[in-house]
A and B are shown apart, each in its own frame.
Chain A
């Protein structure tokens, strides 16, 4: 069973629908015979990975689509064995170093060195370099990024790196300056609706325009999610029930309720209830940053104008703490407590 979002993923640059300017650039780049290091960044569901795959196909031909999964064992300096899943074709290799936690430097160094030191042997290949795709590059530790910076220069001869990241903020500037920055912005509502219509047509269904717009809006212009929502709505009822509000993922619903709880009451006991809910969300593998952001956005929507910047400031502050700390719950709770304290004072002032 394949989800629509996988089934109808465009495989070549020609089939990409939006960001046509960017697509042209990428095509020219791929056909120029050489490829610089790339840093592809943009929000989730904007099509970063789709574009990377399309570029690889453009550069290396259909062979880049023949993927195999392998497991590699790396040994850390402390002699711990790490098993990492790799996806590779004859021309490129994909890795998600955040799997390795704090040992990502080892992975980056070993892997890149190994690839860089072996020449491209496939005679059919038009290019003499291989590509390493690093997913979630913003999760790379500083160490790993510095290691990357060195290897990027040293093995420029037969290796290219494509970094995929949600923003450039967490990529150190030496690495940024060695890459061509490719921004993949979130598609507009209209573009999302267009893609939905294309998918619907392939599936042989019709989507009412208003409903499509509603889905696109509630997906937050996340194409990936919009298509999933479309499919979920389709399996639920077809023809589409336009009055049915497309449901959010459980975790998001849950976090919204948590945020709402902070607005309802501001007591230590309420905070304890909130803590329990925060633990619950964390338990389900939702990253702490996502939780904080979701809560903050919901709070900003709910409070008066005077408090909005305060909430944003506190959210940013505790996001920073979150990054430098270890126990997410402490920071999430501190943020909630701070908000409740500020909000309570605000209410009392207003009264």
Chain B
């Protein structure tokens, strides 16, 4: 997907003014947040499992190379071909090569965020392969020619009326008004594609070193069709997805659906290892696994390695007040919300996504919701520091921060200056106690008034109160 993260501010303002989107986002928020809260409450040992999950992920990441080779050896032993891709272009070239070598005309895909990262659909289409997205949300977006706006619920920004309109155009049938009928129409439209595809393309939520296994986690069953029916199965996934054992998977899968949508378990979990046996009715004759780097090694071994623990549940964005208001498209790349505000700058360059680590209030909802304990606000803060050090923020902002740092290190000076500031701000608030415009920060007061402070600083008030108590 083309990076547009440099336009975050502009797109965020557009999205804030988009009433339809605002309505669609409001509807979704309650379902995600309440659903997760309920599932966590009845689980009993959430914190214990969370800690274990973080440990399991860290263990594999600490010896990532050895775990990857263990996975490769076992997957190969079972008949899969393991490919390695350093870049998005390499990943596409490998899969286009497999398609060409096997005369593939149609590929059925289940949802894969890595494939969005590398623009796989475009590459295959350019090579003459028809690509069909089969996850209902992704199918809707393919019809709309739009990228996903959420990593678990890609079409969360669309209303049913918008979907109905797309289906009328695509299927040439009368307009539907009920969601179950729309779902059935999509099922019928897609069934033929599953049965007629030469190639199935899936992601893999984790890859298991012990057994050489890749896997899919879905509610719809589309990934099961994709990994079972076509004669060639291609898995595209990131190198950071490797875990040690089936038991590690059991731990992580207790967290993933609960964090994502408050479900105890998804309807389908499929571990796929190796090929169809000669007398089997189903299963692929070839299996290819493409392990993609595309920026991941930049996080390995560094101060932000914890980000690689991410299991792509979407809880951080579901709980983020910024995401809830601007939606996923404002972030301008594949990964939105807090996790995207870290991954996007790292993968596509901080200079191309400078606003993302700043699009956070540091309310810490994301860190609390994260099932693998990624300190997301902390990592965003590290990116902000890098921006400051690399002079990537505008000079007035850098000057202001430098001035503030100078003052705050000198308590007497700070008390003096903040005392003046508090009094001036109170005066600016006038009789109603509201500041309508702040010089130099007029963007902030454009949409709202700032409540004027009390006229004295916290330290002054604290001292006074201590004296009164004596």
- Are A and B part of the same complex? no
